[in-house]
Structure 1
Amino acid sequence: MRRLSTTRWLAVLLLSFSGLAWAAEPQGLDALLQQVQQAAGQDAKLNAEREQRFLADKNQQAAMVGKAEADLAQAKAKADAVRARFAANQKAIADLKDKLKARAGDYIQVQGAVKEAAGAFRAIASESLVSAQVPDRMPTLDALADQDGYPSVADLEHFWVGLQQELVQGGRIARFTAPVVDADGKRESREVIRIGSFTAFSGGHYLVFDPQAGALTELTRQPSHHWRALAADFADAKDDGRHEAMIDPSHGSLLVQEALRPTLRQRIAQGGTIAYVIITIGVFGAALAVWQLVFLLRTGRRVRAQLGDIGHPRTDNPLGRVLAAFRGDAAAGVGDGEVLELRLSEAILREIPALERFQPLLRLIIAAGPLLGLVGTVTGMIITFQVIQEQGAGDPRLMAGGISQAMITTVLGLGVAVPMLFINAILSARSRVLVQILDEQSAGLLARHIETQQEQGDAPRA
């Protein structure tokens, strides 16, 4: 402070001398001394004020430091108390958890068992047809299967009721009204008939349960007409007796596979043009065979009737016409046995074409059926190899068309040839029997005629 005051005095003196030098009229040493003294007094006063302010600030800072230290000590005391309470609470929580585990006992295992059972039953209920009739049980199963806490008594009761409901309804036939989504995507309420948890149908159309839509949906492709008619008859039954119905134990999977199975018309269409050619030939051959079989049956019945009355030949059967021709020749005076034999052979040969009619054509059909089937097989294999070349062999469904054509044409060819083979054998056997009857009767007639002539020739000599 002393050094600072000296410096200030020197500065005041320099200013004073400068002001004296520049003044227009000097004021004298007394005035200068007075100014210096006044300046010195003012500086001392300023220094005293500064010292007082510094001392005041120092005391204030000391007080603030003391207060801060007191606050720090108080905060440390509070923190220690909080730590002590936290440790005590942690210990209390651990003790309570131990007591909870001890008191809960097997309830923790019950929680895991209920969660696992609810998840398994939810998977079953999501595909069960009973859920279409009782849709409000799914939220409860979802809550039990997904929860992390302990299930309540009410939740366990709902779960038990759901299990009992599935068990009881699985053995009942029920009629109820529920929303049904048809093949066009239209949703409407219909009367549904449910057979257990296996099969459901409405209006003759089979239904499956869609868990995403939460409703029954019609199969896009329904099974064959037989199964649909069976469902319609079951729905129209009014009594409580026994009625036939289709049961799908796979909850719709087998029903979908049955619906995807092609009908007979669709299978024939898979065979292509060759399949229709084979069927046309088969139908034509079958019509000819049936016609000839009916003709042979009627002719055989008339021939057997003629055998019972040889003396009165009728022209409505081959045997009667042969007998009539023989008697006509005999009445005309033809006595030579060889000539009569030739005349009988001519009459029999005249009847044979009608008896063996269509047999050569049927044999041709028998041979052509498998050959046409082989043509279809080769064509189908060509289509299959072409698809493999273009698309690869990664997807077997792409090759199904060619393979179907190959197999179907083969089956159709054999299906035409094998029945025609048996039918032709039957026709051939029956025609041979009739021809044999004609040969036997003609030979007998000729023998008796020759014997009669010989007896007439020997009579005069006797």
Structure 2
Amino acid sequence: MIKHICQILLCVICFPLLALESNHADQLIGRIATAKQQLLATQARIDQEHKQLAKQLNAQLAKLRKLRNEAKNIRRLEDEQLLNINQLEKRNQQWQNQHSYQSQLISAFEKNTQSRISNADGSINIEQIITALNKKLTPAFEQKNLIGSDNKLNTFDVIKIGPIEYAINDIEAGVVSFNINNTTPLLKQISQQDILFDDLNALKKNGNGLIHFDPTLGNADKLNQSQFSLIEYLQQGGTWAIPIVSFALAALIIGLLKAIQLSKLPSINPVTSQIIKYSNIPMSQAELKTIYGSLASNERVLFDIVQHNAISQKRDDLLLAELAKQKAHNEKYIGVITTCATVSPLLGLLGTVSGMIHTFMMMNIFGSGDASVVSGGISQALITTELGLIVAIPALIVSALLTKRVKNFQSSIESLALHLSKLEINQSEQAYG
């Protein structure tokens, strides 16, 4: 009973407290919402004031920069009043150099863009520059007369995209190119003729089309047209190419003949050489016959000298004379190959010097404005140097190989001759040979 009374008293006391706490919570939520709105309003006001202050600051900074420039100009004018005549002349020269440099830049721009942006008085029309650039950025079809694939002059619709010009008519399409010896433009058809025709036709009608672009900017065509055959290449070398080619033919013929001759040289039999070296007693006729049969023809000549002459200075002299004779025979005409290898680059250098002299004479007469003319003359002058090196390098290699072959053979046969010079023969028996 007491427990129930306590629960009732507790409910009577706590209910007003809970109601009071709920009212306080609603008031707090209302205050938080009001404070949040005030905060947002304050932030918006601060942002607005910040923007206004930033505008005012930028305006003041612009005025400050203007005043600084004016102060700089005033200071420069005051300083110029104190300059002497030499300093004024130096500054005037700097301004003239700057003006010349700017004029060169403008001229180069006009040449590259094929447009006129400077007036007669040297001033620049910026609007004209913008118009010219916009025209290049938005190309359009123009009618031109070209030489078609039938070698006849026909009218084509031509559009220039960058450095490449594309042409199309009702029959064919292609790329506009120029011959080296002809200034008349002509149509060059590409391998994918049908695709290019459809693309150019769509570009002409709708203004949209996928065009095949040459990544070499037309230089591939120029490179193909500048290729020469061997005869034309030699003709480009001029008069000095004739003796270089003559030396090349001489070195080639002699090299082949000497290679055939030296390839037929027999190899020294090491067994026979060892038998002769370690023989301490006079050899009989049977032994001589065995050794004689194992020798080659040029070795038998040395053996005949040994058979018919006892160990003496005379035998050694005859052996040395025979070795010198065989060496001279093997080395014959190898020096001509070496001479060809030495003289050919000198002739090439002489031809280059002659071509350079001719090029400079042409520059003196016609000027050096066209770099292609100068570079073309220099490239032709260097052809003789290239020909000389082409002849000299293989000739030196062939001469070195042949000389090495002769030295190896000569070393072997000299070793055999040295052993033969000490060979004792039984003079009581008849010599074999």
* TM-score relative to the length of structure 2: 0.45
* TM-score relative to the length of structure 1: 0.43
Task: Report which structure shows greater RCO (CA 8 Å, sep ≥6).
Answer: 2
